[in-house]
A and B are shown apart, each in its own frame.
Chain A
Amino acid sequence: GAVVSQHPSWVICKSGTSVKIECRSLDFQATTMFWYRQFPKQSLMLMATSNEGSKATYEQGVEKDKFLINHASLTLSTLTVTSAHPEDSSFYICSATASGGVTGELFFGEGSRLTVL
């Protein structure tokens, strides 16, 4: 199946700093990628939809100036958590769809665990 790679898998940073998470589709082109956030024992919450070459679409309640998303190519989307605070500590997961695959099937990255001290 299609492979989505996320980096870094875990990161610890100080409050007030910015952190960038990369999401790459390794063997397919992803015109659309999705960014989710998951708190312990909770469901995945969709943060934003990232479309190659255009601005991301954010879900209600997600601050676009805090969570910067860039989708500069068909294989790479990045999420930057700006001025991170402890409440931003979470598991961030990206996903993508592959053309020609099962309709609606999402391929997920391994996730990035962010801890803000």
Chain B
Amino acid sequence: SQKIEQNSEALNIQEGKTATLTCNYTNYSPAYLQWYRQDPGRGPVFLLLIRENEKEKRKERLKVTFDTTLKQSLFHITASQPADSATYLCALPFSGGYNKLIFGAGTRLAVHP
């Protein structure tokens, strides 16, 4: 069955540094991959989508890569700020269900001043 893995350990970094989060998946070849941000007690907020034929996608300080050979996506936040502290979720469409998403457990990022 489809499986998504994200670092369960929290990532602590210093303000101004680049945060890099990892998402690995198995038993699957998704047409696209998405990243969401979730703050405590709130619903997730969409950040970026990257398709299988795209290697890299950028949006302001965010950058996502998608390696379909390694079955891995990397999510980067450059010049990180304390306001970037949140849990970041990786999501893939269910096999056969284009808009149905399966989510990873998320990685909690803490940016310290």
Interface positions of A (Cβ within 8 A of B)? 1, 4, 6, 32, 34, 36, 41-44, 46, 49, 91, 93, 95, 97, 102-111, 113
Contact = CB atoms under 8 A, between A and B. Distances in A.
Interface residues of B, number: 23
23 contacts: A1-B46, A4-B43, A34-B100, A42-B105, A43-B4, A43-B103, A43-B104, A43-B106, A44-B89, A46-B100, A49-B97, A93-B43, A103-B49, A103-B99, A104-B32, A104-B101, A106-B44, A106-B46, A107-B46, A108-B43, A109-B43, A111-B42, A111-B43
Nearest to A49: B100
Contacts of B100: 34, 46, 49
Nearest to A10: B41
B79 interface: no
Interface of B: 4, 32, 34, 41-46, 49, 89, 93-94, 97-106
A108 B49 CA distance: 16
Contacts of A34: 99-101
A104 B43 contact: no
A36 B42 CA distance: 13
B98 to A, nearest CB: 7
Contacts of A43: 4, 89, 103-106
A95 B34 CA distance: 15
Nearest to B106: A43
Contact of A102 (B49, B89, B104): B49
